[in-house]
Chain A
């Protein structure tokens, strides 16, 4: 089974994402912001990170840059999942090393399609 770290400051979103991803056979960990996510990744690297952008303490983009600058680790697949839905944000995220990008609101089909695109299914 593959592991997914769901990073979002909204409990509701984390719960929805967890439900969808568990049905798709992922084991789920949750993090409430970028810093929390980073700590968890240092302990154990997930296969994929589903990543919100705007969060307190450390936002998604900062997290992504931090992860991508780590050497000697197995890099996870990173899929943004955010209400930021304009081209400039998408560009910034992809240039920083994101693998895919989901614009909220999302549903099961979108998650499934995007995860398939990055070779996770």
Chain B
């Protein structure tokens, strides 16, 4: 691949999705975009770049951006962020939101839906506690194809075995050969929406809990800071943020602080001692 083509593509991707590509990732561009080029009847990556340069086509730009996203996800990924949610965050929120009986949760890069659905399982499993509450779980992602899959609730045998307890599989899935279909009662608990983290969060409203997991790793430092500081703006001071296992706020922003002893969990820096005390280990 020509250096100027690499530069063209990496600039475009950075602008469109925040994706940061170092020159050692040329192979990634080639392995993901060559199949896309072929599907569109083009010779290869060179032709694709040529086409993008010449037309600036929005559709093609979008396809290229989507093709370069990494969409791996699984149910109850890393477990702790979901155990903490169920055992620490929810009981505290239940008390603090007793007046409004409303909780809003945002999965900010939800990919194929396993993350928001894992949260839906948690609520469903303690259904009686939340009978007269309004629980909103919103999953967003910039990729349309992952959102289609998330909405369909269709997962492969491989996908339903990574992280999903067999009892939940038995209770909430229907089997059709090798395909497992998530039941309507769980699917309707989650709303999916196309959304780019580089855009303004204003249309989304406020959230009590934000999962922003395994997406910041693809961004450069400035973009990480920018996204996290805006996440802070969409939550009250008693909100909670969950990041991925390889992500942190340390050295990125001082608007959040880690919770001692609780991996992956962060509170706004101005959270009161009382809020902190409810969740520290």
Chain A positions within 8 Å of B, measured between CB atoms, are 85-87, 90-91, 94, 100-103, 106, 109-110, 113-114, 116-117
Q: How large, as a class, is the contact surface on chain B?
A: 10 to 19
Within 8 A of A (CB), among B149-206: 157-158, 161-163, 165-167, 169-170, 175, 178
**Beyond A91-B170, A103-B157, 17 extra complex contacts between A and B, CB < 8 Å:** A85-B178, A86-B175, A87-B170, A90-B169, A94-B167, A94-B170, A100-B165, A102-B161, A103-B161, A106-B161, A109-B162, A110-B158, A110-B162, A113-B161, A113-B162, A113-B163, A116-B79
Of B79, B161, B175, B178, which one neighbours A110 at CB under 8 angstroms? B161
Task: Compute how far the CA of A111 lies from the CA of B236 in the bound complex, rounded to whole angstroms.
Answer: 40
The docked-state distance in angstroms from the alpha carbon of A90 to that of B161 is 13
Chain A residues lying within 8 Å of B74, measured Cβ to Cβ, are: 113
Give Cα distance in the complex from A100 to B74, angstroms.
18
How far, in Å, is B213 (CB) from chain A's closest CB? 17
Interface residues of B in 30-71 (CB under 8 A from A): none
Report B114 CB to chain A, min CB distance, Å. Answer: 12
Given contacts A113-B162, A116-B79, A85 and B167 within 8 Å (CB-CB): no
Q: Is the Cβ of A101 less than 8 Å from the Cβ of B162?
A: no
Query: Could you tell me the distance between the alpha carbons of A91 and B170 in the complex, rounded to whole angstroms?
Result: 8
A104 CB to nearest B CB, Å: 9
Residues from chain B with Cβ under 8 Å of A85 in the complex: 157, 178
**Total A-B Cβ pairs within 8 A:** 30
Contact digits for B109-130, partner A, Cβ 8 Å, 1 yes 0 no: 0000000000000000000000
Q: Could you tell me the distance in whole angstroms from the C-beta of A91 to the nearest C-beta in chain B?
A: 7
- Residues on B with beta carbons closer than 8 Å to the beta carbon of A90: 166, 169-170
**Sample (16) of A-B pairs whose CB atoms are under 8 Å apart:** A85-B178, A86-B175, A90-B166, A90-B170, A100-B165, A100-B166, A101-B166, A102-B161, A103-B157, A106-B161, A110-B161, A110-B162, A113-B161, A113-B162, A114-B161, A117-B165
Q: Which residues of B contact A117 (CB under 8 A)?
A: 165
- Closest residue to B166 on the A side, CB-wise? A101
Which residues of A sit under 8 angstroms from B175, Cβ to Cβ?
86-87
- The CA of A109 and the CA of B167, in the complex, are separated in Å by 19
Among A91, A94, A106, A113, the most chain B Cβ lie within 10 Å of the Cβ of A113
In the complex, A94→B169 CA distance in Å? 12
Cβ-closest chain B residue relative to A88 = B175
The complex places the Cα of A87 from the Cα of B167 at a distance, in Å, of 11
